[in-house]
Chains A and B, each alone.
Chain A
Amino acid sequence: GDSVTQMEGPVTLSEEAFLTINCTYTATGYPSLFWYVQYPGEGLQLLLKATKADDKGSNKGFEATYRKETTSFHLEKGSVQVSDSAVYFCALSLNNAGNMLTFGGGTRLMVKP
């Protein structure tokens, strides 16, 4: 079946450090890929997405590239801020409407001043 695997957290970084959160997937078809962010006490928010191979999603300084050859969608940010502290979820969908999301386990990021 379809699945998403993320690196386990927590990831603890100092402010302005470089961030990478790894995400790999297995899917029977050609999925759309997403990163969602969950700030403390809040619901999930879409951070970025990519719908086909080699697409790069970007938002708020974060970016991720859809790599079909390695079935990966790693999240990166060049300089993290304390306000980026949250839980990040990688997800895939085989439905073009973004329905039926399959989530990874989530990675907690803690950024220290």
Chain B
Amino acid sequence: GAVVSQHPSRVICKSGTSVKIECRSLDFQATTMFWYRQFPKQSLMLMATSNEGSKATYEQGVEKDKFLINHASLTLSTLTVTSAHPEDSSFYICSAPLTGAETQYFGPGTRLLVL
């Protein structure tokens, strides 16, 4: 089946630094990818839709200058958490839809801890 990878799987950083998370579709092309945030024991909240070759679409309440998204190619989207603060600590998950599959394929997630 289709595979989506994320890197890194876990990152610890100091407050004020920026962190980049990569999401790759390994065996299919994805013109669209989705970024979610998952708080402990809670559901996934859609943050933004990443579009290859154009600007990302952010959900209401998500700061686009805080969470920079770049969909550089048909297999790669990156999420950069800029000037990270402890409240940004969370589990970030990406997904990509596979044309014709009527579903999304999810990456394994990246756990971010900001000290």
- Give A residues with C-beta under 8 Å from B: 32, 34, 36, 41-46, 49, 51, 89, 96-101, 103-106, 108
Contacts and interface: CB of A to CB of B under 8 A. Distances in A.
Interface in B19-77: 32, 34, 41-44, 46, 49
A108 B99 CA distance: 30
B43 A97 contact: no
B43 A99 contact: no
A89 B102 CA distance: 17
Interface in B95-115: 95, 97, 99, 101-109
A71 to B, nearest CB: 18
Interface of A is mostly: loop
Contacts of A46: 103-105
Contact of A99 (B41, B42, B104, B107): B104
Interface of B is mostly: strand
A41 B109 CA distance: 8
26 contacts: A41-B108, A43-B106, A43-B107, A43-B108, A43-B109, A44-B44, A44-B93, A44-B106, A45-B106, A46-B103, A46-B105, A49-B103, A89-B44, A96-B102, A97-B97, A97-B102, A98-B101, A98-B104, A99-B32, A99-B97, A103-B44, A104-B43, A105-B42, A106-B41, A106-B42, A106-B43
